[in-house]
Amino acid sequence: MSFSEADRNVSSFEPGAGRLKPRAGSASSARSIPLDGYWTFHLAPRLREMSDGFESPDFDDSAWATLRVPGSWQMEGLRGPDGTLRERGQAQWGRPAYTNVIYPFPIDPPHPPDANPTGEYRRAFEVDRPGAASWVLRFEGVDSHFTVWLNGMELGWGTGSRLPTEFDVTQVLREGPNVLAVRVHQWSAASYLEDQDMWWISGIFRSVSLLERPVGAIGDHFVQADFDHEAGEGILRVETDVPAVVDIPELGVTGLPAGESLRIPGVGPWSAETPRLYAGVLTSEGESIELRIGFRTVRVVDGLITVNGSPVRFRGVNRHEWHPETGRTLDPETMLADVLLMKQHNINAVRTSHYPPDSRFLDLCDEYGLWVIDECDLETHGFVQVGWDRNPSADPRWRPAYLDRVERMVERDKNHPSVIMWSMGNECGVGDNLRAMAEWARSRDSTRLIHYEGDYDSSYVDVYSRMYVDIGELELIGKGADERTVDAQADAHRRALPVILCEYAHAMGNGPGGLAEYEELFDRYSRLHGGFVWEWIDHGILQRATEGPNAGQLFYAYGGDFGEVVHDRNFIADGLVFPDRTPSPGLLEYKAAIAPVVLSIDNDSTLTVRSRFDHIDTSGLVFAWLLEEDGAELGGGTVEVPPVPPRGTARVRLDDTIAELARDAAGEIVLTVHASQAKERDGVPAGHEIAFTQRILAEARQQETGSTEGLPVVVSQGGYRLGDAEFDSDGRLVMLGELPVLGPRLDLWRAPTDNDLAWLGQAKAWRDLGLDRLEHRTARVQPGDGELVVETVSMAAGREAGMRTQMIWSASPEGDLQLRLHLSPVGRFDTGLAALIHDSGRVKRGTVPRLGIRMGLPGGEATLEWYGLGPGENYRDSRMAARLGRHRATVAELQTPYVHPQENGNRGAVRSAEISWQTGERVSITAPSGVDVSLRPWTSEALDAARHTTDLVPDGKLWLNLDIAHYGLGSAACGPDAWPAHRLYPHTCSLLVRLAQVR
């Protein structure tokens, strides 16, 4: 192929040439020869440097490298031939590049840039007996534009990276050796349609196979399996292009001719809660195809999305395909891991953002039960940079490409019961090409709903879909009281539709906070069908640090780490699971927020169980109680809960022993009730907890506060002594017993979270106020009668906003050092940038990240044991997953390794804690009214400065933060800030805490 031909093809509006019509994928009895494995490979930096004649079978590729198929060359090139990670900058074939919205090439449609990396792949294979049948070469996914030759003959070319492409090779395939050549261009006209928020990586990244198509084989098949919930019957019809019959032994169906409809009594319906699949076989003259049939009917009834007659609620996530070592090439184990993790965290729905996934993932969704919004491989978001000028969605020249994409998605995936909605794509602006896609999809498949968030009027979709709506607006939408649009008819139409949030709660870094408030609204307004958290996984790329004290250690790279000219930093690390699929605290929080049963303890004798299941009752769950006094178990047992029907509520009486046990105790009495899976079900193991609730039945009996009858203050040389504690002349604690410490100082700073750092986040204002660089002036040090009073005023250079801190120290004869802390704001916090930062349109007031103190303790390996909220980190708007109890973690375990380091690890409501060092030293901390605790081997300033986890190095101390309050997490990285109730304003507050060296 000449340069000019290649150049014309990569700039073509057309989706491809020479391809076969799209059709359903299937597990067939006919031969399928996998062509995955190592292919020879050569990367040309631009079209003009393509290898002449590489498609010819006798081309000499002996000097070429080999590359794994499926895979992408940028990801594969990050490793050396022995599989070890190369040094960054030494990648073999280009580098991954990350942008979210912005195109990483000039907006010059339909032209790709001259610098168009072009991968040339070759592979030989043998086939016996190719004569009797026709043969098809199938590519499951190639990114982004490719041309294929078999035995030197050009078959055609294709685009649509995450959709299958088939070529007829019957005429070209030979008995014995064959040579396949594929040329893949990183950039093409199609790249303008594939601006999804992800790494730009290229190549044959899904499997390739050669399929035998016997005479009389089935070209395409469409299984329509409805469920009549009133009659309890399945209605089956299988369409094929050749005569065929259907058998479903389990249902006694034999020899049902394709094209005929059959009512089948006694069928169990398919739903995400009951993923009932029936094994069937579709047989034609030439082959038989395995069917996995799920009977279900999806409809909008009276403005509600129903499946099998019942309204459904989505507890969803947006899932990109990602693996930190192989990119968008996933093995079956990884796909299964995603499904199991979702099921075990109460997730029941997936939006395949923003392209159809490897179809084996959909098989798993069918099998384990997940509602799927199958989204087309389409996004043109980068045109927003030019005011959507020349957006392909509105340009008729691109229509064939748009229609091609929706056809290939629908045809491939139409037999998956889990798919209940077709989504036309994401962030493609507006235009008639999208409407045309929707019309085509509806005419081809009337059994599913149509989704596209960008159609605000919802004129061609079935659901009104929104992203990142705040709770204020969501409540109005729920009530039908949201703002009216100009066109009354369009407005009325939209208002009558069911609502979903196709994206909400941006899970970037530490967060999302404020999930509870969304769930409350979803519970309250039936029109709100739930939503899909953005997003499932952090797309970090595994790399090895080459410099610094952690050289050699692994970390996850993000945008900009590969020298990209334009990039979007760590916006790619915004998932509920870390790149290695370890659940983040955000996933645990989401699990708690969306629990399918909501438990509440009304008093020591009644429990309320409210079911959020749509199709099953609660008979698959077991309920149990646990009573604790200050975290020590007093008793436990089971709770008999009669099966609660879908969306029903039951009130049950708790065991009388609970009240009895509670009555006798003196400490804090906490009752926990939890619900767990009785038997293994759809990937959720027996005993797996799905929901819990706690209630404090009795507060700890008030212990004496701040006695002044402590030990006297001894004025010593250069300082003060109180019991075994020593203070310097500024009144700063320097020795706690035998432990040298950097005594507590006011601390208002936290290493900003990604949410704090957002465009409308608070971090800019905090930095502008100098909260990260406070200077402390000692205003008073006064030894008194059994107490030492120390007052400090803290503010930053050039600023007047700060805090006056009063610390009143006393010591009990038992050796406890007691601190009564009082904070009061000085100066104005609403000046400078703080005045500009959005605060929900109200009068702008300055906010602060935290109100508390920090002290330095000896370093080294240590463990924290605490009675408070845990075991994981928790924040004021993200603590549904936390429980009050006794917990224990090493300092290392207390740190959450966010891909981009930031504030983390807080444990709230801590009543008592003990730090124990490996050396045997111990310090106890008591705060009767509860305090937020974090303990780290580096300072907040170091955490703030770190770009990657490997930048963090223990500095020889342990830094203990004790906070009265902190600013919530919210979702401002892409969405609303912390809800007003979770923001923190400087205010007068106090804390009582006791410290002691335990001996």
Residues at the contact surface with ligand IPT, assessed by CB under 6 A: 100, 197, 426-427, 467-468, 503, 534, 571, 574, 974
Active site residue 427: yes
- What number of CA atoms fall less than 13 Å from residue 63's CA on the CB side? 5
CB under 8 A, 24+ apart: contacts of 494-498:
494/456, 494/457, 494/458, 494/464, 496/303, 497/300, 497/303, 497/458, 497/461, 497/462, 497/463, 497/464, 498/300, 498/303, 498/304, 498/305, 498/462, 498/463, 498/464, 498/527, 498/529
Which C-beta is closer to ligand IPT: that of 590 or that of 720?
590
Which of the residues 503, 628, 629, 903 is marked catalytic?
A: 503
Closest to 47 measured CA to CA, from 233, 186, 167: 186
How many angstroms separate the CA atoms of 751 and 250, rounded?
60
Which H or E run contains 360? helix 359-368
- Under 8 Å between Cβ of 766 and 772: yes
CB of 319 to ligand IPT, least distance (A): 12
CB of 534 to ligand IPT, least distance (A): 5
CB of 434 to ligand IPT, least distance (A): 15
Torsion of CA 489, 494, 498, 499, to 10 degrees: -170
- Under 8 Å between Cβ of 255 and 597: no
The position carrying tokens 């990276």 is 161
How many angstroms separate the CA atoms of 338 and 356, rounded?
16
Torsion of CA 756, 762, 765, 769, to 10 degrees: -80
How many angstroms separate the CA atoms of 1 and 19, rounded?
18
CB of 507 to ligand IPT, least distance (A): 9
Which C-beta is closer to ligand IPT: that of 178 or that of 353?
353
Cα distances (angstroms) measured from residue 804 to each of 285, 775, 965, 986, 989: 87, 12, 16, 11, 11
Which C-beta is closer to ligand IPT: that of 61 or that of 535?
535
Distance of CA 875 to the CA centre of its chain: 18
Which C-beta is closer to ligand IPT: that of 322 or that of 571?
571
Which of the residues 55, 427, 628, 668 is marked catalytic?
A: 427
How many angstroms separate the CA atoms of 327 and 329, rounded?
5
Please, which residues bridge with residue 788 across strands? 783, 809
Strand arrangement of the beta sheet that strand 278-284 belongs to? 27-28, 288-293, 278-284, 244-248, 253-257
Closest to 248 measured CA to CA, from 272, 274, 220, 283: 283
Cα distances (angstroms) measured from residue 386 to each of 197, 380, 390, 407: 18, 12, 9, 29
Which C-beta is closer to ligand IPT: that of 467 or that of 823?
467
How many angstroms separate the CA atoms of 14 and 338, rounded?
35
Mapped onto helix, strand or coil, the DSSP state of residue 973 is helix
Cα distances (angstroms) measured from residue 427 to each of 354, 375, 379, 391: 9, 12, 6, 11
Which C-beta is closer to ligand IPT: that of 181 or that of 573?
573
Query: Is the dihedral angle over the CA atoms 361, 363, 365, 371 positive or is it negative?
Result: positive
CB of 974 to ligand IPT, least distance (A): 4
Burial profile 329-359: b = 16 or more Cβ within 10 angstroms, e = fewer: bbeeebbbebbbbbbbbbbbbbbbbbbbbbb
Which C-beta is closer to ligand IPT: that of 105 or that of 532?
532
Which C-beta is closer to ligand IPT: that of 61 or that of 427?
427
CB of 574 to ligand IPT, least distance (A): 5
Which C-beta is closer to ligand IPT: that of 3 or that of 759?
759
Active site residue 873: no
Backbone angles phi, psi at 652, to 5 degrees: -125, 155
Which C-beta is closer to ligand IPT: that of 22 or that of 976?
976
Strand arrangement of the beta sheet that strand 298-301 belongs to? 298-301, 304-307, 310-311
CB of 568 to ligand IPT, least distance (A): 9
Which string of DSSP letters, residue by residue, matches 228-244? ETTTTEEEEEEEESS-E
How many angstroms separate the CA atoms of 165 and 411, rounded?
12
Residues in the chain, overall count: 999
Instruction: Name the residue whose CB lies closest to ligand IPT.
Output: 197
- Under 8 Å between Cβ of 183 and 135: no
CB of 571 to ligand IPT, least distance (A): 6
CB of 971 to ligand IPT, least distance (A): 11
DSSP state of 190: G
CB of 295 to ligand IPT, least distance (A): 33
Which C-beta is closer to ligand IPT: that of 570 or that of 805?
570
Which C-beta is closer to ligand IPT: that of 197 or that of 228?
197
Which residues does the annotation mark as catalytic? 427, 503
